[in-house]
Amino acid sequence: MRNVLKFTSVLATAGLALSVAACSSSSSSSAGSSANADKALTVIASPTPHAQILDYVKKNLADKAGLKLDVKVVTDYVTPNTAVQDGSADANYFQHVPYLEDFNKKHGTSIVSVETVHLEPLGLYSKKVKSAGELADGATVGIPNDATNEGRALKLLADNNVITLKSGVGTAATPADVTGNPKHLKWKELDAAQLPRSLADLDAAVINGNYALDSGLKPATDAILLERAADNPYANILAVKKGKENDPRVQKLAQLLHSDEVKKYINDTFQGSVIPSF
């Protein structure tokens, strides 16, 4: 089912709202107010690499820049946007622009990108074969079930001549848009976070870079197919609710995320599995 909503996200959002309400900005306060400037900036992030990068900023750069940073970690793709929309968090760092645009359209949210930070190449992984060419006829391939990442996964396979997609469909592709499937691959649509855990039960799976890293996979060496970085629209972003782009705390964090120190940290820590986009 192509449904990004998880029943647990409602509870997660409610719990998160309670846990961060004390340190989040009041929705009635203007983004640039001096009162806001003294409050901690609450940012929701996926564990790896997003929260890891933010923790580096918090421990090494934020104090010197006069920024109080509160990092909240979640593992789903819904809570970060709903929390920013309802004001229980100030910003999030977990998604790319195509996902954000699709989320806004489907949920009536008004979240915008502040800056791109890094790219996590999407990859095809397998515990059973060492190349896409070794996939057996009728093999089952796991793909993310959210709209943008599903199309992105199918495009990865099409770009590597595993399948053929309907002309012009691009990253909006669904399994119904597969026009050429010489290996008669079967699709298992799962929540993106579940794919690494399900890999042993599948012949292969297309996994988002952050979830691959969380599960101990190294995209640069373990993926049997990997997205190219050049001209890639899927760089991950720092995002806020529309109107908060000029919050001085947000701007300060954006500057730190684009610093030479963060670029070096990303390159040294992830060695090609996460790539700075600046």
Asked if residue 2 is part of any domain, the answer here is no
Are 50 and 116 found together in one domain?
yes
Asked if residue 44 is part of any domain, the answer here is yes
Q: What is the pLDDT of residue 23?
A: 41
Smallest Cα–Cα separation from 268: which of 25, 19, 52?
A: 52
- Domain residue limits at 113: 7-120+233-276
Q: How confident is the model at residue 35 (pLDDT cuts 50, 70, 90)?
A: low
229-245 in b/e form (b: 16+ CB < 10 A) is eeeeebbbbbbbbeebb
Asked if residue 39 is part of any domain, the answer here is yes
- Crossing angle (nearest 10°) for helices 147-159 and 97-107: 140
Sequence-distant (≥ 6) Cβ neighbours of residue 179 within 8 angstroms: 164, 165, 166
Q: What is the pLDDT of residue 6?
A: 36
Looking at residues 197-225, what average pLDDT do you find?
Answer: 94
Are 140 and 271 found together in one domain?
no
Domains: count for the chain: 2
Q: How confident is the model at residue 46 (pLDDT cuts 50, 70, 90)?
A: very high
Looking at the chain, the whole-number percentage of residues with pLDDT higher than 70 is 87
Q: How confident is the model at residue 229 (pLDDT cuts 50, 70, 90)?
A: confident
- Per residue in 178-204, pLDDT (tens digit) is 999 999 999 999 999 999 999 999 999
- Per residue in 5-18, pLDDT (tens digit) is 333 343 344 445 43
- Crossing angle (nearest 10°) for helices 79-86 and 97-107: 60
Are 70 and 97 found together in one domain?
yes
- Per residue in 66-110, pLDDT (tens digit) is 999 999 999 999 999 999 999 999 999 999 999 999 999 999 999
Contacts 24+ apart (CB under 8 A), 265-269: 265/53, 265/56, 266/49, 266/53, 266/118, 269/49, 269/52
Sign of CA dihedral 22, 108, 144, 217: negative
Are 43 and 176 found together in one domain?
no
Looking at residues 43-69, what average pLDDT do you find?
Answer: 97
Are 79 and 154 found together in one domain?
no
**Strand partners of residue 141:** 187, 204
Q: Which residue has the tokens 């998604």?
A: 95
Half-sphere exposure at residue 40, Cβ-oriented, CA atoms within 13 angstroms: 16
Are 13 and 110 found together in one domain?
yes
Half-sphere exposure at residue 6, Cβ-oriented, CA atoms within 13 angstroms: 20
Tell me the pTM: 0.74
